[in-house]
Structure 1
Amino acid sequence: MSRTSANSWMHGAKIYRNGEVVGFKKPLERLAVREVSSRYLSQEERLLIADLHLAGHTQLAIARQLGRSPSTICRELQRNSSAGEGHRLEYQPYRAQRLAVARRTRVHPRRLETNAFLGDLVAEKLQRRWSPAQISDWLHATFPDRPEMWLYHESIYQAIYEPNSRWQRPTPLAPFRATPPRTGRTARRAQVRIHRRRPRFEQPMLSIHERGFDPLDRSQPGNWEGDLIIGRGVTSAIGTLVERQTRTLHLVHLAGQDSDTLHRAIIDRMADLPPTLLRSITWDQGTEMARHLSIAADLGINVYFCDSHSPWQRGSNENTNGLLRDYFPKGVDLRRFSPEHLRAVENEINHRPRAVLGGRCPADLFRLLLTSETSPNCDVG
């Protein structure tokens, strides 16, 4: 997970709305949130063992009731029982749970640390920018009869991403890369299994696959692609909307990045368009679009969402955002640009001839659609 998420889980986090603190998310209980395999006894099972043992049930009977091996119950009672009144051994389930959690959290030394020769070999290959998978395959091929020299590539990745790791350092021929892996990451990026992924919003979302036309089909005007360009410190933003057929750009001035601000700004900017030029909006899954149902209802359109990590599904918008970085560079506070300045930038880009439009300007094509009484489906790109 990211460092920010870890800090929020450990220390809690304030909840902001419109720049004001409206609540506080409590830190997670460290031992309670870890997903434990069912092969280990749970606290509920230990409580049941204590009740049945106190009631005089045999270890075999307890094992049958819990669906466990009798040897598991025997070891549990021997390991976690202490002398009580009359020197009789008493099983303490809560103490047993604490001890079990402590045993699971023990840090075992890595083979890379205990085997100096193996560690030096891996360090040498990493300095030559070999991937962990390549190193793993090479170790198996070079030492076929020495299993102690074998490593799974995941073990190498874990060693690299460990804090203050000696394997996490630039290589001689690529000193500008922070770490040996090609990604250049110094920490692991979170991966969530597909069946455990939660939807971005509680409200039902329309997928881009439900839009009704192919992403390459631009024959129908009025379908827009939207996104935000972010300013310095992720504290400011400008909304961008691009019409798919004519590549016409509309910039949206935002006083904040919350969903309420974006909702009002999009309504004010797009509400004056005729229905034939405002049929749908396709956005990424950013939290700023949490009010998408209200936007869809107020404008009388559908709001569609791209797949995660798929910016090419909004190709026109992504390309235009690249053009906008000439006017709004990264690392600049975007709050300093007035709505009038945004309109001037929008006007300049819309009047720039585009090769994809056959040398015509987006503004001219959009003006033709506005002045046409029927808004014909003319293919312009």
Structure 2
Amino acid sequence: MRAQGTPGGRGGHPGRAEYDRLRSSGVRRREAAAQVGIHERTAEDWDKGIRKSNGSRLRPDGRRVVYNTGMTTHVDARRAPAMTVLEADLHPRFLTLAERETIADLRQHKASLREIGRQLGRPASTIKRELDNRSVDGVYRPYAAQRGWATDRARPKHSKLAAGGRLRDFVTGKLAVHWSPEQICHALVKEFPDDESMRVSAETIYQAIYVQARGGLRREVAAALRTGRTRRKPRKQPDQRTPRFIDPMVMISERPPEVEDRAVPGHWEGDLIVGTRSESAIVTLVERSTRYVMLGHLPGGHTAEEVRDVLVPLIGSLPAHLRGSLTWDQGCEMAAHKQFTVATNVPVYFCDPHSPWQRGSNENTNGLLRQYFPKGTDLSIHGAEDLEHVAQELNARPRKTLDWDTPAERLRDLLTAT
């Protein structure tokens, strides 16, 4: 049970004096805390000289940690009640107070810069820069280093474009003729190579337009940017983006385990190889366990409806036990995947973005097909008979992964075994 702080005793708790007596007589912390009726964490704070007040914990070195915010401050006894913020919610690239304490401890034990970096997961150059910049007379003190960093980090600055002058006139003039902030930034360097006062970053220009608090350009160039926006457009999180297809996709992570290990035949991978100017295409299908290839002719285009109308008869020509599933990438040609599934009773699973290895057999087959259909050529000149001939040649090649059987032999065995 956690004891409540009440008047009495050295620390405001009636059992504090008894606790100190027990500890001085050699009683272990846990046993002393149990006898006095306090939580072991409170006993640890008493041993370390930590005091609690007003929702915070004050350490002997002047650090105060506020419970509800997690912020660490330092109380300067010489300038009380002024405080310097030591630690708050910061970007991971900044060293924390705990990391600075570790640096000091390891440095005291003669650890190398690389060893300190390895233990903290930081580059050795970061440790060297910290020690070079924050040591005083060759001695590194973590709390002084943290206070110095916190003080240096606060840099209240006014925008360069908030006040009038040549720089602001130049920027507003170029924005008026629809120059981009990046173009303005580089033009300043070329036109004023020796005048450092005529420098401004593209981000500062955007800030002057978008951030009213920093301001300077908002009213004057409300429609100066090519987008016509006076506010930044936030990027959507992946779960907020507009779906690619009207019908929701079933992702490859939901594909049954038997598909993954290739133990059960009848599961296919599919894709397109596209001709010059994307005006023609060929549907490629590969069965995962036998590597058997089927090709579909798309001489006039590869819209979702055209791909669907080729896939349905291709899959429909197979016996039922070889129509297990189809895995495809997220190309727009599969927007009619729901209609394909309704027509064939074959579910479609979609790969993750930019993950061609999830259809490895199909990617390998497409590479083999480029021997017959080189990139940059018109695929419409190849008729259905040509595609059938190419598919037969590929299916008649012995494969190392099949113990030098051919895909045609493996498929024949499946058909004759049922």
Task: Provide the TM-score with structure 2 as the length reference.
Answer: 0.46
Task: Provide the TM-score with structure 1 as the length reference.
Answer: 0.50
Larger Rg: 2
Pick 1 or 2: higher relative contact order, CA cutoff 8 A, min separation 6.
1
